Amino acid sequence: MSVKTSPGSAAAALEAGIARGLRAVAGRLGSAGQWPSRRHERADRRDEGRHETSPFVTALGVLALAGVDDSVAEAIRRRSATHLVATMHSPGLWRYYRDLPFDLDTSSIAALALERRHPWLREGRNVPPLLAGRTEDGRFRTWLLPGRPNAGEIDVVVNANAVALLGERRETVIAVRWVADVAERRRAQESSWYYRDSLDLTLAIQRAADADVGGLRGAAHVCAVRAAARVEGDAAALSPHRLSQAIIAASWDPSACDPAALAHARARLLACQLWDGSWPAGLLYVGAEPPAPPIFWFSSQTVTTALCTRALRILSARARPDSGRLERRAPLV
């Protein structure tokens, strides 16, 4: 697909793609605001997969649309908030499935998506049980259970999500340092069992940096430069899910990515958009539990579509003469 289009036609294509993407997301949400996902039993996800909903996927979807300033996006956030509040347990914790223990990742992501707008979150009632999830060395385990964590349970992305919520405080200093060290030394793959691409860690780190976790700002910048390198050198080989993540991550540093590479990335994303406004689903994370090999691979076409829509919005903002760094956080209500 050629990227040599007039500024007017390129802008119109971007806006049309954004509008179609938002409509696709809104049309896929359940009646209670839940975001759908699929649990696959093949690594290539060529099986049909099992339809599921969970507060984690709903929260991940809300965060994927952060910074998209649009009435449809606002309506999606309000509907999603209904699902998140309905699945919350006192004092502000969540389970991935109803029959599982509370976990740090779901509880952190869901609280971030609600932006502390529920009284339990606003009053910080959820903080003590989350801090109790620290291990002896100061990092966080995934499951909020007594006893020692399983091998592989201490996941760097889970820790980044936790510190994004809990902030930079005495109890999180070690976790912040570990997350930064993993990112700067390119050790994401060996430090995360649940998440399979360094871009997942990148977005979690940048989310924490935007939440004023100053100890991760350096890592967020490093990750932005690396994401820009993937846009510039690897865009054609990336799935729409990973390409959109890379565009979002690179935008954290507006000077990190070459404009010509962004134009090619824009053309690729628009070319991959399906007839109904969605994009093909990408891999979110794996299950069931470490240290065993994965037996489940989770995807959500709705979350991928939200990511791609946000990436197009970033590219649209970058194309404006008065463009600056896109604001990534947006209120739910």
Answer whether residue 263 is part of any domain. yes
Residues 6+ apart with CB under 8 A from 46: none
Q: Are 65 and 330 in contact (CB under 8 A)?
A: yes
Q: Are 130 and 166 in contact (CB under 8 A)?
A: yes
The pLDDT of residue 11: 86
Share of the chain above pLDDT 70, in %: 94
Answer whether residue 328 is part of any domain. no
CATH label of the domain that carries residue 207:
1.50.10.20
The number of CA neighbours under 13 Å toward the Cβ of 243 is 31
Between CA 160 and CA 198 the distance in angstroms is 12
Answer whether residue 56 is part of any domain. yes
Answer whether residue 55 is part of any domain. yes
Alpha-carbon dihedral sign for residues 15, 243, 254, 175: positive
Answer whether residue 53 is part of any domain. yes
The pLDDT of residue 232: 95
Share of the chain above pLDDT 90, in %: 88
The number of CA neighbours under 13 Å toward the Cβ of 142 is 22
Write the pLDDT tens digit of every residue in 214-247. Answer: 999 999 999 999 999 999 998 999 999 999 999 9
DSSP 168: S
Evaluate the omega torsion of the peptide bond into residue 291 and state whether it is cis, within 30 degrees of 0.
yes
Q: Is the pLDDT of residue 1 over 50?
A: no
Burial 136-165 (b: 16+ CB within 10 A, else e): eeebbbbbbeeeebbeebbbbbbbbbbbbb
Answer whether residue 330 is part of any domain. no
pTM comes to 0.94
The pLDDT of residue 318: 84
Confidence of residue 66 (pLDDT cuts 50, 70, 90): very high
Answer whether residue 105 is part of any domain. yes
Answer whether residue 14 is part of any domain. yes
In SS3 terms, 251-271 reads as CCCCCCCCHHHHHHHHHHHHH
Residues 108-117 have a mean pLDDT of: 95
Interior angle at CA 68, CA 35 and CA 280, nearest 5: 50
The pLDDT of residue 282: 98
Mean pLDDT of the chain: 93
Q: Are 252 and 206 in contact (CB under 8 A)?
A: yes
Parent domain of 267: 7-319
Number of folded domains in the chain?
1
Between CA 11 and CA 5 the distance in angstroms is 10
